[in-house]
Structure 1
Amino acid sequence: MTTPRPALNRALPRRTVLATGAAGGVLVTVAGTADATASQRAAGHRAFRHGVASGDPLPRAVVIWTRVTPTAASTPGSGHGPRVRVHWEVATDERFRHVVRRGSFATGPERDHTVKVDVTGLDPARWYHYRFRWDGHTSRAGRTRTAPAADATPDHLRFGVVSCANLQAGWFSAYRGLAARDDLHAVVHLGDYLYEYGPGQYGYGPDNEDIRKHQPAHEMVSLADYRQRHAQYKTDPDLQDAHAKYPWIVTWDDHEVANDTWKHGAENHTPGHGDGGEGSFKARRARAHRAYDEWMPARLDGSVRIGDGSRLFRRLRFGTLAELSMLDLRTHRSKQVDSPAPPAPWPDGEVSDPTRTITGEQQLDWLEGSLRRHRGVQWKLIGNPVMIAPVNFGDLPDELVNPVNDVTGLLPANGAPYNVDQWDGYTADRRRVFDFIRNHQVKDTVFITGDIHSGWAAELPYDASTYTGQGPSEDETAGVEFVCTSVTSNNLKDITGDPTGATSTAVEETIKANNRHIKYLDFDAHGFSVLDLTPQRAQMDWFIISDRADRDATITWTTSYAAPAGSGRVVSVDHPVGA
């Protein structure tokens, strides 16, 4: 998502995040880190100070991760320290009396002393415990779970959903809230796991106050920079607890590399050397992807090997109930069209140019494969880093836009978009996805999305200008979208400094008046969401924190929306799952 880069004195277009007031809700009591958890973290902290993590659960395999610090000089990004062999074990019980898999892994400075193992031969839909040992040190224990067998019929699935966690902008209370739950199967992180900025750049509120300062104390550019920043985030105790509690399924957005990343550049990358130049963008992105591969519990190019590729889009199946397709909407996209600073929309027909893409041709073909009905799953979940629902002004019916564009090519296909960094800036790709859904009669498609630092529930209209929400869903909607708030990154209230929420409310009402398919907005909150799937419905619950600057912030449920099976609609629900 576009964010300021105040350290550079240059005039650049900015797109402000949207915000509006949150509904009143139910206070959820989530205590601070328990003594037992703290003692677990302390055990082996010298060697395994960055915690443990797991991810990408399959029916018979899961990735487990840690980093070892064998000497005082072996700090992240330093390139120093010996090669060592770390032992790992996976058990069916938390006391490790019944170890079912064990092995060892050689690591060293060439991979920043990280350890990433694809543990195979496990049973489907089962909880496991894992840990690491080196030289008499034992890591804290982590807990993970495999996916159901492909032909299993689970009665429900439940995921935590998060995005946009800026360490400088506040404490990670949202992760504390996830770690305190015992009812999730996995956590889905939709991008901006970390931020590239240096201290004083994009912090807390309108003055960019640093609640915590980034390390290194400058924008990430080198491989060492990216490694150090990943390491800093993984020393956060709340993030460590959430990683240790559940397997994570992750994708990147832009800030894992640089703001507003596209295929050949980024808004805040300066090519060249000298005079503030940051070198080759291709090299910078390769360094960022390398560090991500080292430090995240994910399979890139289908493996845990480092350096064998950076393909991150992938599918994970959960029996016949759901399949989750995680997208990469940065690596393959065309450059964003130019637009003026918000809130002025830009009616530029270039956003509908069919030669421009947000997915790339290979990934778009792959996404259509995910949506095919013959795959035998009910819920088609799409892990979507940026919003796909149209958010626009002055929309005209297709029967008017198309003849005008036959002559002039000046009008965007879906009205004047508010934010051209999301699918609104690449409407040809969105049209192809929606047309595929309609032509193949695909049901129960749910996009879960991050990036925009706000909560949304929306239906996905084939033609937003004529959408009523009253006709047959197969004629009107391609599915639904649920958008989670940010963990800490600024929203509109934070940027404007308006404590009343009046500015946010005005924006919210304007957007809803121009976009009838948008049913819910919460533009002032930070927190996490919970997505629950059953054969009857998909439900998203939104939980918000009280203040990012308060390490002991309270956590409150605010609202829930559900998509009944086969409906292509969203409806309000009066309580969260498990309540």
Structure 2
Amino acid sequence: MTVRRRTVLGAAGAAIVGSSAVSALHASGSSAAAPFAHGVASGDPLPTGILLWTRVTPTPESQPGSGLGPIVVVGWQLASDAAFVNVVAAGTVTTGPSEDHTVKVDVRGLQPTTTYWYRFLLNGTASSTGRTRTAPAATMSVDHLRFGVVSCSNWEAGYFSSYRHLAQRGDLDLIIHLGDYIYEYGTGEYANRGRPVRLCKPPNEVVTLADYRTRHAQYKTDPDAQLLHATVPWVMVWDDHEFSNDAWAGGAQNHTPATEGPWAQRSAAARQAYAEWMPVRLDAAGQIYRRLQFGTLADLTMLDLRSYRSQQASGTATDDPTRTITGDAQMSWLKSGLTSSTASWKLIGNSVMISRLDVGSLPAWLLGPIAKLLGIPSNGLAYNIDQWDGYNADRDELVDYLRGNQIDNVVFLTGDIHSSWASELTTRNTALAPTAVEFVIPSVTSDNIDDILDVRPGSISPYLVDLIRASNWHIKWAELDRHGFGVLDIRPDRCQMDWYFVADRRDPESTARLAASWKVVDGLARVRQA
């Protein structure tokens, strides 16, 4: 997104009267008031920088997606205290209909590992106050990090109480969102067993730029989303539903060119709206895959597994070395970054499951030559070809690279499949010697097994888990029915995921409980129950 701006660093604007401190936002949990009805957010923390975001509604006609309203100048302030007595950076940003009145400010020149408060101002009115924090310096010795991990937040399927529980913790350095922040479907098409809890806007499937902007705007009115955005910085990446279901480089399962126009046009609209409405850095070419470092303890690589992937295919085509899920440039960048990393833990934000999921009584790789005769893919019959299972060559290349270069302490963080898993990463060549681990977190609200089958939670899924584990020795734990979030606790000697499940996604005041904890220890790619 191109933003016209003029920035003044220093204490300029400190005398402007602001909103209440972030503690008030915590206490109320309420949505922001006009003209800042969509709240505030921060993201992509660097040791000396942070990205700030908001959206303004300067006039009644300046509604999201309308293309209407005036060009306005929005002020911003960043302070070292919640009362804004010590404003350390301030400036202005010009925005208007061409940016859907969104504002993004990439503030630099800050101090590492420092908490800051920020706000925006328009015509004397201040936004809610946000709190954020910069990352540790690359060479800084860090002994503890704690990240919240979420994915698959479908508006119509329920309320985002997971966000509220994460915001109220007060002990998180970061939120990682692994994709499907919004859903593109029309009303009733994909929510709570076809029975929407709350209706989406627009009611139709989103296709145009105005549609995507309107849908993003609605999600930003959720009070729990506003609370979590204002409390802690986010690192985000898209998956398919920010575009359309099962998207690939040239199309999507849920896209019909004859009635919905060229895919390139729809994809461009989705990307523009995402860039406008998310606190995320994209480069000039719109590239979203990136890497952030958090001292010597961890670095975080966020992958884009939709923009460059080949179309989904089944059967032995999943072994085709010409097909890719990452694209050649991103794969080369990923491997290079893993080699050069000096961090104790290499975290990979990975939107779709990379661990094998074989079906049948035996994994296909054990069948040897018979598998070839039968036309079975070398890594097993794929249950979900939209995952890495549909792109065996890329997975083999990455796993072989990890083994060949003796790269350890790699942890994949995954969303997408609306369920919870703790697994070890193996291929046909590494069945007894895993090279990494994977933690898959549940959906915030999107339908899972019991929702799809319309049965009581726990009535069928435990039997399915038993069947899955019988053919997948590398899968150590799975839970297929619950909604919630993960908390990743990172220390030099181990990396642990705690899974929290909400009691009822349809209840905006739902409670949450700690359900399971699995960890991987330094130097050993095995998951253990914690």
| Both proteins in one fold, TM over 0.5 | yes
Please list, as runs of the form range in 1=range in 2, the aligned pairs for 1:236-251 lying within 5 A after superposition. Answer: 236-251=222-237
Counterpart check, 1:310 vs 2:257: no
Match 1:481 to one of 433, 438, 459: 438
Shift of 1:198: 1.1
Secondary structure of 1:86's aligned partner = strand
Shift of 1:397: 7.0
* Residues 41 and 51, structure 1, Cα contact 8 Å, conserved in 2: no
CA distance in 2, matches of 1:435, 1:533: 26
Give a deviation string over 1:33-65, Cα, whole Å, max 9, x none.
99754658566x111000000000011011000
Q: Sort the Cα spacing of 1:219 and 1:507 in 2 relative to 1 into closer, same or farther, 3 A.
A: same
Shift of 1:382: 0.4
Secondary structure of 1:415's aligned partner = coil
Secondary structure of 1:57's aligned partner = strand
Q: Which residue pairs with 1:380 in the alignment? A: 346
CA distance in 1, matches of 2:501, 2:517: 12
Q: Sort the Cα spacing of 1:167 and 1:34 in 2 relative to 1 into closer, same or farther, 3 A.
A: farther
Q: Which residue pairs with 2:11 in the alignment? A: none
* Residues 159 and 445, structure 2, Cα contact 8 Å, conserved in 1: yes
CA distance in 1, matches of 2:427, 2:256: 39
Q: Which residue pairs with 1:467 in the alignment? A: 431
* Residues 31 and 226, structure 2, Cα contact 8 Å, conserved in 1: no
Q: Sort the Cα spacing of 1:67 and 1:289 in 2 relative to 1 into closer, same or farther, 3 A.
A: same
CA distance in 1, matches of 2:247, 2:63: 28
Match 2:270 to one of 288, 312, 315: 288
Match 1:444 to one of 404, 409, 419: 409
Gaps of 5+ in 1: 1-32, 302-307, 339-347, 469-475, 574-579
By relative contact order (CA 8 Å, sep 6+), the higher-ranking structure is: 1
Q: Which residue pairs with 1:169 in the alignment? A: 157
Q: Which residue pairs with 2:309 in the alignment? A: 333
Shift of 1:377: 1.2
* Residues 365 and 371, structure 2, Cα contact 8 Å, conserved in 1: no
Give a deviation string over 1:299-355, Cα, whole Å, max 9, x none.
011xxxxxx3221100001111111000010111011115xxxxxxxxx11111001
Q: Which amino acid aligns with 1:219?
A: E
Q: Which residue pairs with 2:319 in the alignment? A: 352
CA distance in 2, matches of 1:360, 1:371: 17
Give a deviation string over 1:64-85, Cα, whole Å, max 9, x none.
0000100000000000100000
**Equivalent pairs, count:** 508
Q: Sort the Cα spacing of 1:79 and 1:517 in 2 relative to 1 into closer, same or farther, 3 A.
A: same
CA distance in 1, matches of 2:280, 2:85: 28
Match 1:368 to one of 316, 331, 335: 335
CA distance in 2, matches of 1:250, 1:36: 23
Secondary structure of 1:238's aligned partner = helix
CA distance in 2, matches of 1:326, 1:38: 32
Q: Which amino acid aligns with 2:418?
A: H
Q: Which residue pairs with 1:511 in the alignment? A: 468
Q: Sort the Cα spacing of 1:413 and 1:41 in 2 relative to 1 into closer, same or farther, 3 A.
A: same
Q: Which residue pairs with 2:523 in the alignment? A: 566
Please list, as runs of the form range in 1=range in 2, the aligned pairs for 1:6-405 lying within 5 A after superposition. Answer: 37=26, 41=30, 45-205=33-193, 208-272=194-258, 277-301=259-283, 308-338=284-314, 348-372=315-339, 374-394=340-360, 395=362, 401=368, 405=372
Shift of 1:553: 0.8
Q: Sort the Cα spacing of 1:283 and 1:388 in 2 relative to 1 into closer, same or farther, 3 A.
A: same
CA distance in 2, matches of 1:522, 1:245: 29
Secondary structure of 1:244's aligned partner = helix
* Residues 364 and 371, structure 2, Cα contact 8 Å, conserved in 1: no
Secondary structure of 2:184's aligned partner = coil
Please list, as runs of the form range in 1=range in 2, the aligned pairs for 1:425-436 lying within 5 A after superposition. Answer: 425-436=390-401
Query: Percentage identity across aligned positions?
Result: 51
Shift of 1:501: 2.2
CA distance in 2, matches of 1:452, 1:242: 23
Q: Which amino acid aligns with 2:324?
A: T
Q: Sort the Cα spacing of 1:50 and 1:93 in 2 relative to 1 into closer, same or farther, 3 A.
A: same
Shift of 1:200: 1.3
CA distance in 1, matches of 2:428, 2:144: 32
Q: Which amino acid aligns with 1:392?
A: D
TM-score, length of structure 1 as denominator length? 0.85
Secondary structure of 1:56's aligned partner = strand
Give a deviation string over 1:115-167, Cα, whole Å, max 9, x none.
00100000011111100001011000001111100100111111000000000
* Residues 517 and 529, structure 2, Cα contact 8 Å, conserved in 1: yes
Q: Which residue pairs with 1:23 in the alignment? A: none
Q: Which amino acid aligns with 1:434?
A: V
Shift of 1:560: 0.3
Shift of 1:461: 1.7
Q: Sort the Cα spacing of 1:500 and 1:78 in 2 relative to 1 into closer, same or farther, 3 A.
A: closer
* Residues 86 and 106, structure 1, Cα contact 8 Å, conserved in 2: yes
Q: Which residue pairs with 2:17 in the alignment? A: none
CA distance in 2, matches of 1:102, 1:153: 30
Q: Which amino acid aligns with 2:271?
A: H
Secondary structure of 1:253's aligned partner = coil
CA distance in 2, matches of 1:35, 1:212: 27
Could you list the structure 1 runs, at least 4 aligned residues long, displaced by more than 2 angstroms after superposition: 33-43, 393-405, 408-411
TM-score, length of structure 2 as denominator length? 0.93
Q: Which amino acid aligns with 1:368?
A: K
Give a deviation string over 1:164-186, Cα, whole Å, max 9, x none.
00000001010111111110000
Q: Which amino acid aligns with 2:238?
A: W
Q: Which amino acid aligns with 1:78?
A: S
Shift of 1:505: 1.3
* Residues 118 and 130, structure 2, Cα contact 8 Å, conserved in 1: yes
Q: Which residue pairs with 2:506 in the alignment? A: 549
* Residues 443 and 566, structure 1, Cα contact 8 Å, conserved in 2: yes
Question: RMSD between aligned alpha carbons?
Answer: 1.7
Give a deviation string over 1:371-410, Cα, whole Å, max 9, x none.
11x42111111000000000002455758646864xx693
CA distance in 1, matches of 2:28, 2:161: 19
